[in-house]
Structure 1
Amino acid sequence: MTDFRTDAIHAGYTATGHDDAVSVPIYASAAFDLENSLRGRDLAAGVTQGFEYSRVANPTVDALERRIAALEGGIGAVAVSSGMAAVSYALMCAGERGGRIIAPTNLYGASVDALGDFLPQFGIEADFVDDINDLDAIEAAIRPETRAIFAETVANPSTEITDIEPIAELAHRHGIALIVDNTVPTPYLLRPIEFGADIVVHSTTKGITGHGNAIGGVIVDAGRFDWANGRFPQFTQEQQVIADPDGTLRSFADKYGAEAFIRRIRIKYLRTFGAVQSAFNAYLQLIGLETLPQRVSQQVASARTIAEHLTHTPHVIKVNYSGLGSTPQYDLVAKYFPRGVGQILSFLVDGDVSNVRRILDGTKLFAYVPNIGDARSLIVDPVNITHREVPERYKLADGVTPNLIRLSIGLEDVNDLIADLDQAIAAAY
């Protein structure tokens, strides 16, 4: 078994069959030659593996999918055009036909909006809990229609950690799936499948790409969940689109077994809704993956140093970073994050909104950008940017107030970053 750092460079691709190109080529082709009528029929029916149309699969994107599946320890992956496409597809695929999803209130703003306001328009309802690690609250929310629990492994911007293992055990005891968003830590810091997660989603825009130059998302399937257990009728209904070449109708559970979920994502969601990952963006993400361990290691070290510095910086009244040894979740850090919890942190300042604005406008190295995981260090006020669509009661409960500032730590010298924050904070008062 090879090391993560080796797999980040080599997994999912061999030069053989690609004109011996060492770097994954960009296959800028909308469609591919089916070669002959029988092969074309079998490709369309899923009997033969290969490429026919880039809305369904593309060789460059396929290499990215295989690499991320290997890094996460899944049986397969589907790359899509954005992180929210990955979140939406995964939740909809699980919740079709009147399902319910249990989720915490401290999710990324667009995920809260999707679950609380938008997906209900499609018959998929959410049951929010205040604390995703409160097993009693989760169990009390489970109904016959419940299909999945959804959580972020590390919440943004609080950096609160989800205790995956007991939640997975609870979910599986009730025949429901655990879907987690692993965007913040990336698979280098955490592989949720090892702790029982069934589906892992990422905004690959963030740490995986790492340079703020490509939008993307991915869904990874652990391949262990029984989608034919009676809670998920969409997986046992016979479907024309996956009929055998002789016309025999098949269900996803019957035809694909352990791969039922990820196959349904590709064949029904990607193929029909069309949030397709471009070959060029996939190429940029593959390049980003090659340096993921080195980038994230430095960013984590710098984030911890900056978080510690902010704990004794004038006008900073609270620092949110689970990687600090003083946090209540430090036992979870030891269990899940021996390499660190990630590169984002947030802090609360005194004063009023005018002080916050002066800090945001006063930094010289930190860019005011609504992204995370970039090689550059970024600063933002979540209440106005990343969480503006979150209901006020959820924002207040999760500490997303007008005086909260979020940082994403990049690859600059940590002392330069500290000096930049110090001067901006001092000048704001």
Structure 2
Amino acid sequence: MTQGTLNQQSQVTNEDSNTRGTSDCESRILDGFATRSVHAGYTPDDNRDSSSVPLYQSVAYGMETAERGDALAGGETAGFSYSRVANPTVAVLEQRLAALEGGSSAVAVGSGMAAVSYALLCAAEGGGRIISPTDLYGASVDAMETFFPQFGIHTDFVHDINDLAEVESTIGPDTRAIFAESVANPSTEITDLKPLADLAHRHGIPLIVDNTIPTPYLLRPIEFGADVVVHSTTKGITGHGNALGGVIIDAGHFDWANGRFPQFTANELVVSDERHGQWHSFASRFGKDAYIRRIRIKYVRTFGAVMAPFNAYLSLVGLETISQRVRQQTVSALAVAEHLRTLPHVTHVNYSGLADHPQHALAEQYLPHGVGQILSFTVDGDETNVYRILDHTKLFSYVPNIGDARSLIVNPSRITHREVPEVYRIAAGVSDNLIRLSIGLEDVADLNADLDQAIANAY
């Protein structure tokens, strides 16, 4: 095994409590979500008793002796040697997010799109196919529509991910994964996770879910059968618009050696000991952890979309207030959505948290505490009216981001979904008259007043 592989095969095991050496009593203390968001994955006495997670801004770490260096490189002992594969600050974030999502392990990466790309490529590499709706974040659609095919990986897009008959009709021998957003961006349509997961598992394929919008505070897809969860930690997890990042979280229960995924059962030098004639595949070496180990060892180590330690530190700081932030933003988003419906020139509001929304029953089932801070709405007139609204807001920032403590506004068809083919955009409701909002922590009355004056000035 190469030195860069390090010992992350043993380092990031992400126990459910995510604190190494935690007793059963201490694990019960960490049961609460808000408690885990502050404490999971970190032990002060392992870090000179620092109450806050230290920032380990170091590229490499002393291996102490030649014997220990060999054991580190071979994955036979726990520790760190090179930050392209593992960093102590990043490791705490990985363990904490795995704990919050109910996963067994996680790998943090440089951005949300790196998380989506690595998660899907790892499952489908070698010529596999992915099933996905088109009602997704624009860059995800673009990657699957135009870029992944350059690597021999193709996507079968379905009109409605909740139409199980349509989804099942696209499953073939080369299908390697079903991918969906738990709450779609920007329509806020909800994926019916449990039956979709059951369908995937009947065919021996995993369900991979982008859970960025609700965050694990509002929804944990693994509890409903998802096998892999991805996030853009840039958004609601970090919460302050100051640190790019992404994470891939493995539930740890999918069988990657079931015959559909030859990349997991082929022997590979990077996880073997050639000198002693001991050959392994990822499946034989790591069992149910084969997927997340391949993400770290093959994708992060080789492609190098590493999360910076400082970004991990900022994400950890943001996580400490995720419960309070997302709770307030969700309450405010519902209030703004209800207010928008009373305004002239607003023709439709997309927010599945509204009581009369067609997916109200799904919202109650999967998101009883709300569907999050994102909503969108259409206005009458034409695109010039949309431009005027954008230009007249004073409190909302015209920014292509979501999940910030500040409220944000954007026109998706020209910004976040510009690269999506028109037929997909229109089917997803992303017209030139659509405006997306990400609700922050300002007073709702002030946000509503800003929308009132911006819309009035636009006409």
TM-score category of the 2 structures, normalised to the smaller one: over 0.9
- Work out whether 1:311 is the aligned partner of 2:369: no
| Match status 1:164 vs 2:193 | yes
Please show how residues 228-239 of structure 1 align to structure 2 within 5 Å: 228-239=257-268
Deviation at 1:249, TM superposition (A): 1.5
Q: Which residue of 2 aligns with 1:213?
A: 242
Give the number of aligned pairs: 429
Report what 2:456 is aligned to: 426
| Equivalent-residue separation in structure 2 for 1:220 and 1:343 (angstroms) | 22
Q: Which amino acid aligns with 2:425?
A: K
Q: Are 1:122 and 2:175 matched, yes or no?
A: no
Opposite residue 384 of structure 2, the aligned amino acid is S
Q: Which residue does the alignment assign to 1:383? A: 413
Which residue identity lines up with residue 113 of structure 1 in the other structure?
D
Establish whether residue 401 from structure 1 lines up as the match of residue 431 from structure 2. Answer: yes
Letter in 2 for 1:376: R
Q: Secondary structure at the match of 2:183?
A: coil
- 1:347 counterpart (377, 389, 394): 377
The equivalent residue for 2:117 is: 88
| Aligned pairs for 1:33-44 within 5 A | 33-44=62-73
Larger deviation, residues 80-89 vs 30-39: 30-39
Q: 1:226-262 CA distances to partner (integer Å, 9 max, x unpaired)?
A: 0000000000001100113734121111110111100
Partner of 1:48: 77
SS at match of 2:45: coil
1:4 offset after TM fit, Å?
0.1
Q: Does residue 1:195 correspond to 2:224, yes or no?
A: yes
Question: Following TM superposition, by how much is the alpha carbon of 1:82 offset from its aligned partner in structure 2, in angstroms?
Answer: 0.1
Query: Counterpart of 1:306 in structure 2: which amino acid?
Result: V
Give the superposition deviation at 1:292.
0.1
- Superposition pairs of residues 50-199 of structure 1, within 5 angstroms: 50-199=79-228
**Distance in structure 2 (CA, Å) of the matches to 1:93 and 1:135:** 24
Q: RMSD over aligned Cα, in angstroms?
A: 0.7
Post-superposition offset of 1:40: 1.1
Q: 1:260 aligns to what? A: 290
Amino acid at match of 2:236: G
- Please give the TM-score of this superposition, normalised by the length of structure 1: 0.99
SS of 1:259 mapped into structure 2: helix
After superposing on structure 2, the runs of 4+ consecutive aligned residues of structure 1 that deviate more than 2 Å are 244-247
Question: Separation in 2 of the partners of 1:185 and 1:247?
Answer: 48
Q: Secondary structure at the match of 2:155?
A: strand
Residue 46 of structure 2 aligns to a residue whose secondary structure is coil
Question: How far apart, in 1, do the equivalents of 2:74 and 2:411 lie?
Answer: 49
Distance of 1:49 and 1:223 partners within structure 2: 20
| 1:416 counterpart (446, 455, 459) | 446
SS in 2 for 1:224: coil
| SS at 2:316 equivalent | helix
Alignment match, 1:334: 364
**Which of 265, 278, 301 matches 2:331?**
301
The match for 1:285 is: 315
Q: Distance in 2 between matches of 1:193 and 1:17?
A: 30
SS of the residue 1:16 aligns to? helix
- Letter of the aligned partner of 1:320 in structure 2? N
Q: 1:275 aligns with which of 294, 305, 315?
A: 305
Code of the residue aligned with 1:260 in structure 2: it is A
CA distance in 2, matches of 1:391, 1:49: 47
Letter in 2 for 1:100: R
SS of aligned partner of 1:34: coil
Secondary structure of 1:420 counterpart: helix
- Distance in structure 1 (CA, Å) of the matches to 2:73 and 2:135: 42
Q: Which residue identity is paired with 1:142?
A: I
SS in 2 for 1:127: strand
SS at match of 1:139: helix
**Alignment-mate amino acid for residue 196 of structure 2:** I
Unaligned runs of 5+ in 1: none
Matched residues in 2 for 1:243 and 1:34: separation?
21
Give the alignment's TM-score, normalised by structure 2.
0.93
Displacement of 1:395 in angstroms is 0.5
Equivalent residue of 1:319, what SS? strand
Amino acid at match of 1:132: I
Which residue in 1 is equivalent to 2:252? 223
1:10 alignment counterpart: 39
Letter matched to residue 300 of structure 1 = T
Q: Which residue is equivalent to 1:321?
A: 351
